[in-house]
Amino acid sequence: MGGIFGCAVKDDCVTDLFYGTDYLSHLGTKRGGLAVLNSKGIKRKIHSLESSYFRTKFESELPGFHGQTGIGVISDHENQPILMSSHLGTFGLISVSKINNLDELSKKAFAQKKSFSEISNIGINPTEIIAMLICEKGSFEEGIAYAQECIKGSCTMLLLSDKGIYAARDKLGRTPLIIGKKDLGFAATSESCAFPNLGYEVEKELGPGEIMLMTPQGCEQLKKPGDKMQICSFLWVYYGYPASTYEGINVEDVRYNCGKALAKNDDVDIDYVAGIPDSGIGHAIGYANTKGAKYKRPFVKYTPTWPRSFMPQSQEVRDLVARMKLIPVKEIIKDQRILFCEDSIVRGTQLKDNVHLLYERGAREVHMRPACPTLIYPCEFLNFSQSRSTLDLAGRKMILKLEGKEDKNIEEYAKSGSKKNLEMIEGIREHLNLTSLKFQRIEDLVQAIGMPKEKLCTHCWDGSSYY
């Protein structure tokens, strides 16, 4: 998905910028970038993160950076920050975005005899498209609002200029942007977990489409937030770090509540509860505490060198990472009836391998309780599933098997507890060789988050969201 961080402080910003961006490393492993503004202009550095972590790549670069304002990014795929020279002045731009009408916007630009310089194996850099749209207007404020209206998908950004840092949240608030404050200045981040150890307190969460200008002296609202919100529910289920809070709702609390809801709707006999590390742990603790069941760790995660397995875009590398990072504990697996809580089942590839490993180590029964419903719609608003076809989704693949067509009766399959929904789940259970499989109901997930459903994007489960 990617994450962004920016700070404007009265002394040098580089230390806060470096560590603040590093705290977003759980959101991506493709590219990392920093840009700092000082009297000599904007200094930028971009590194690939595919062979090493952000901190190790950028630590040696820090002596060359200094300034009061800066921006940093962990990117899904494209090089960021983008640097632009325009009638608005020179600026740096970073974004968390997905532009579904990229071809349409680029063709329009070519018709106007415009050009793009940030070309890579992914084609035109999406962040450069955003920068181009901003430059079509007479001010940064107007340009940012215009870009967000033009884009079909999502777009949250930080823009570094000599006036300060423009912070702008996606027009429907699909991804968060949070302002922090301390005595020396202000910061903006995708994840509030970046603030505490740097001395910032949460000052404000930007609303949908809201634009603010951040300087070392203060924050000024340039555009009020809109009324409609579609924040991604998966932030709480999986993406977000447990210490982070969005819309005043903590990630770990929601995961506990998800596990609690799963337990209330369950009556299976087991020996103990476990969570698939890391994001399944909070769900499992909520389940175990509600049931009064034992909680154990039959899988332990080897964290020093193995990253999150969904990040590398090669399927072979994803599978390798998934296999290598989880180490089974045979002594507490043998002859046991184990119930696992997991954040979700996307493809099911990794999970099938894990289940096989458990039976090899002597597990008697393996039960699975995902904390969200079956994913059957591809994400149209974030870069969660950009490298996967719709048929990579376990739910959609099972619909194809049952119907002979992957999108036939799809709305029926999305309804929790319907005949077709239960048939799909049973097919997935058999494919994964699980003793039992029960998914979270959409209404229980919404209740666990604690926001009105109309303010949540639940598109990947029920196809309900919009641009």
Give percent of the chain with pLDDT exceeding 70.
94
Distance from C-alpha of 322 to C-alpha of 50, rounded to nearest angstrom: 16
Asked if the model's pLDDT at residue 206 lies above 70, the reply is yes
Which range, of 195-209, 214-228, 322-336, averages the lowest pLDDT?
Answer: 322-336
Look at strands 164-168 and 185-189 and give their pairing: unpaired
pLDDT for residue 82: 95
Distance between the two ends of the chain, CA-based, in angstroms? 18
Give the tens place of pLDDT for each residue, 345-366.
Answer: 998 988 999 999 999 999 999 9
DSSP, residue by residue, 248-301: TEEHHHHHHHHHHHHHHT-----SEEEE-TTTHHHHHHHHHHHHT--B--SEEE
Are residues 48 and 86 located together in one domain of the fold?
yes
Give the tens place of pLDDT for each residue, 92-107.
Answer: 999 999 999 999 999 9
Are residues 270 and 202 located together in one domain of the fold?
no
Compute φ and ψ for 366, nearest 5 degrees: -130, 115
pLDDT for residue 316: 66
Give the tens place of pLDDT for each residue, 140-156.
Answer: 999 999 999 999 999 99
3-state helix/strand/coil string of 56-111: HHHHHHHHHCCCCEEEEEEECCCCCCEEEEECCEEEEEEEEEEECCHHHHHHHHHH
Mean pLDDT, the chain, as a whole number? 92
Give the residue numbers spanning the domain of 394.
249-462
Are residues 218 and 267 located together in one domain of the fold?
no
Give percent of the chain with pLDDT exceeding 90.
81
Radius of gyration over alpha carbons of the chain, in Å? 23
Compute CA distances 343 → 122, 267, 308, 457, whole Å: 29, 20, 13, 17
pLDDT for residue 168: 98
Q: How many domains are there within the chain? A: 2
In a domain, 327, yes or no: yes
Would you give the DSSP letter of residue 239? Answer: I
Are residues 182 and 290 located together in one domain of the fold?
no
Look at strands 456-457 and 231-232 and give their pairing: parallel
pLDDT for residue 307: 53
| pLDDT tier for residue 191 given thresholds of 50, 70 and 90 | very high
In a domain, 238, yes or no: no
| pLDDT tier for residue 386 given thresholds of 50, 70 and 90 | very low
Give the tens place of pLDDT for each residue, 12-21.
Answer: 999 999 999 9
With beta carbons less than 8 A apart as the criterion, state whether 106 and 118 touch.
no
| pLDDT tier for residue 391 given thresholds of 50, 70 and 90 | confident
pTM exceeds 0.75 for this model: yes
In a domain, 150, yes or no: yes
Looking at the DSSP bridge assignments, the partners of residue 70 are: 7, 36
- CA angle (52 as vertex; 50, 54 as ends), nearest 5: 95
When pLDDT is averaged across residues 203-213 and rounded to a whole number, the result is 98
Are residues 280 and 362 located together in one domain of the fold?
yes
Helix (H, G, I), strand (E, B) or coil at 229: coil
Crossing angle of helices 126-134/102-111, nearest 10°? 50
| pLDDT tier for residue 53 given thresholds of 50, 70 and 90 | confident
Place of tokens 């988050």: 449
Are residues 338 and 211 located together in one domain of the fold?
no
Asked if the model's pLDDT at residue 306 lies above 60, the reply is no
CATH number at residue 209: 3.60.20.10
Look at strands 436-437 and 365-370 and give their pairing: parallel
In a domain, 234, yes or no: no
When pLDDT is averaged across residues 368-388 and rounded to a whole number, the result is 83
Helix (H, G, I), strand (E, B) or coil at 336: coil
Asked if the model's pLDDT at residue 62 lies above 90, the reply is yes
Are residues 255 and 221 located together in one domain of the fold?
no
pLDDT for residue 318: 63
Asked if the model's pLDDT at residue 266 lies above 80, the reply is yes
In a domain, 241, yes or no: no
| pLDDT tier for residue 29 given thresholds of 50, 70 and 90 | confident
CATH number at residue 290: 3.40.50.2020
Are residues 213 and 272 located together in one domain of the fold?
no
